[in-house]
Amino acid sequence: MEYNFLSATVLLILITDPLGNIPLFVSCLRGVTPHRRAWVILREVAIAFVILLAFMMAGDRFLRMMHLTDLSLRIGGGIVLFLIALRMIFPHPDGLTGVTRGGEPLIVPLAIPALAGPSALATVMLLTSQAPGKMLEWVAALTVTMVVCAIVLVLSERIQQWLGERTVTAFERLMGLVLVAISVEMILDGIRAFVHQL
């Protein structure tokens, strides 16, 4: 599957799942004073952006250092994506991380793994390893994704009140179904490429 700026942006938005992360962000920020919440969200999104950008830039070198091929990353990334998508469709009662904390969260669980989780890290590495010449497109797609995440999460409490918890859950499950299809396509692409190499 060949990705371009638009398809990469859609894929990254589906993986970072800002709407699905609304309940997690709202619950983690309950102990934070209302005037600090927007600042904390923007800080966590910025941290996630820097981590994903670092993996995007150094991903190819990391793969070579670990003696991993694009093929193994494609199949492995597809499997991780599939598991994340299943969790979106059939959510765990404790949420994404199973961690609830008092006070102001830093890095965990909001930046990692809510936004920059294993599937997002694998995806940015996959994009750059498949088409290293399109680095500007991938950086632009990641930037747009993080801006969308920031806007949705800053407005998370209003969105949750406006849409209602059931609508947010239904939308997250719909995104999970789309993500299942994308992950299966990634795995099948990897298997096809592997069979052609034999």
- List pLDDT tens digits, range 21-44: 888 788 788 888 989 999 999 999
Q: Is 157 left (phi over 0), alpha (psi -120 to 50) or beta?
A: alpha
Residue with tokens 């999460």: 153
| Model confidence band, residue 98 (pLDDT cutoffs 50, 70, 90) | very low
Report how many domains make up the chain: 1
* DSSP string computed for 53-74: HHHHHHHHHHHHHTT--HHHHH
Tell me the pLDDT tens digit for each residue of 45-55.
Answer: 999 999 999 99
Cβ contact 122:73 at 8 Å: yes
Residue with tokens 């997250």: 172
Element at 79 (helix H, strand E): helix 70-89
| Structural domain that includes position 133 | 5-197
User: Considering the entire predicted model, what is its pTM?
Assistant: 0.77
| Model confidence band, residue 99 (pLDDT cutoffs 50, 70, 90) | very low
Residue 93 has what pLDDT? Answer: 60
Whether residue 96 is predicted with pLDDT greater than 80 in this model: the reply is no
> What share of the chain has pLDDT > 90, as a percent?
29
Residue 100 has what pLDDT? Answer: 45
User: Which residue would you say has higher pLDDT here, 45 or 175?
Assistant: 45
Whether residue 186 is predicted with pLDDT greater than 50 in this model: the reply is yes
As a residue count, the chain comes to: 198
Whether residue 89 is predicted with pLDDT greater than 90 in this model: the reply is no
- Cis bond before residue 105 (omega within 30° of 0): no
Tell me the pLDDT tens digit for each residue of 141-161.
Answer: 999 999 999 999 999 989 888
User: Which residue would you say has higher pLDDT here, 197 or 150?
Assistant: 150
| Model confidence band, residue 165 (pLDDT cutoffs 50, 70, 90) | confident
